[in-house]
Structure 1
Amino acid sequence: MTNDRWSALPMPGGLVGRLAAPFGVLVLAGAVVSYVAAVDPNEHGNYPTCPFLALTGYQCPGCGSLRTIHALAHGQLGQAFGLNVFVVAMLPVLAFFWLRWTIARAADRPTRTKPGDPRLIWALFALIMVFWLVRNLPFGAFLAA
């Protein structure tokens, strides 16, 4: 027997039951974006400071993501790119994987739990590390906002 034997079983509850988890994730994401849109992260005291930034003075790969989401929620794409280009670039990727998951659940197909090629995960990890390093170097200051 393989470890994936449970992923091949049909989901209970018909279409509504199968789509409950993707819909729940969508509602949660919408609630988070709505909250960040309403409570401005640019105002001091609304959110805690990044622990990595507070301890080291350097920005982590996620620094600026709340401000980026706030800018995107207000239709300010240029400002969002300036705050954290990596977050903006990853949003279509996240949307793709959410859509693929939702379609698989709607069709009652097993959702894929293992990546097809582990090199893709390592490439993403390397990209995050390079972004992290470059945004903290003098010539990469344009990546740090």
Structure 2
Amino acid sequence: MTTTPPATEELPTRSLLRHIRLSSADVVAAGGVAAIGAAFLLSPDHIEDGPVLCPFRALTGLPCPGCGLTRSWVYGAHGWWQESFSANPFGLVALAAVMTFVVLVVVRRARRLSPPSLDKMLRHPLAIGVGAIWLGYGLIRLALAI
């Protein structure tokens, strides 16, 4: 007499990872985490000795609005506020914005809600205002460097 094995539950044909769809907000948040992690790993003692990463500055020798952001983030991650502000005044603003965005994405994902819309956030009047001021700062800095 043969016995058949007890019926077992069928395993789902799709893995759990197939159900997770990454949005652009998820990718940007992951990039933000990587950038913040790099800022903590880099030493503020030697950040001024590094290579020029800005293509505009490498080609022209002139600063763009984003020049100094890497140094600003490294200084900010290590609590060197004055140096962070001197490298680029918008570095701390950008660092705070990225950290806030990462927390928002993680909280919304933990609550099983859709991630925030990047398009909607970037079209917010506050984001447009900060971007316009940042661009103005960059143009003034560029004019003073010429």
TM-score category by the smaller chain?
A: 0.5 to 0.7
Alignment match of 2:40 (pick from 17, 27, 34): 34
Q: How does 1:1-145 map to 2 (within 5 A)?
A: 12=16, 28-37=34-43, 40-43=46-49, 46-113=50-117, 114-115=119-120, 118=123, 120=125, 121-138=127-144
TM-score, normalised relative to structure 2: 0.64
Residue 26 to residue 57, structure 1, CA distance change in 2 (3 Å): closer
After TM superposition, which residue ranges in structure 1, 4 or more long, deviate above 4 angstroms? Answer: 21-27
Q: Greater CA radius of gyration, 1 or 2?
A: 2
Note the alpha carbon deviations across 1:66-122, whole angstroms, 9 max, x for none.
Answer: 221232233210111111011112221222211111110000011122406835354
For 1:115, the aligned partner's letter is: K
* Kept after mapping to 2: 8 A contact 1:68/1:84: yes
Calculate the TM-score normalised by the size of structure 1. 0.64
CA-CA distance at 1:39 after TM superposition: 7.8
Q: Give me the whole-angstrom Cα distance separating, in 1, the residues matched to 2:44 and 2:124.
A: 39
Give the gaps of 5 or more residues in structure 1. Answer: 1-11
Question: Any unmatched runs of 5+ in structure 2?
Answer: 1-15
Aligned residues: 121
SS at match of 2:65: coil
* Cα deviation digits, residues 30-84 of structure 1 (max 9, x gap): 53123322782211xx323422113223211121122212322332101111110
Distance 2:96 2:122 in 1: 20
State, as a whole percentage, how many aligned pairs show the same letter. Answer: 25
How far apart in 2 are the matches of 1:49 and 1:28? 17
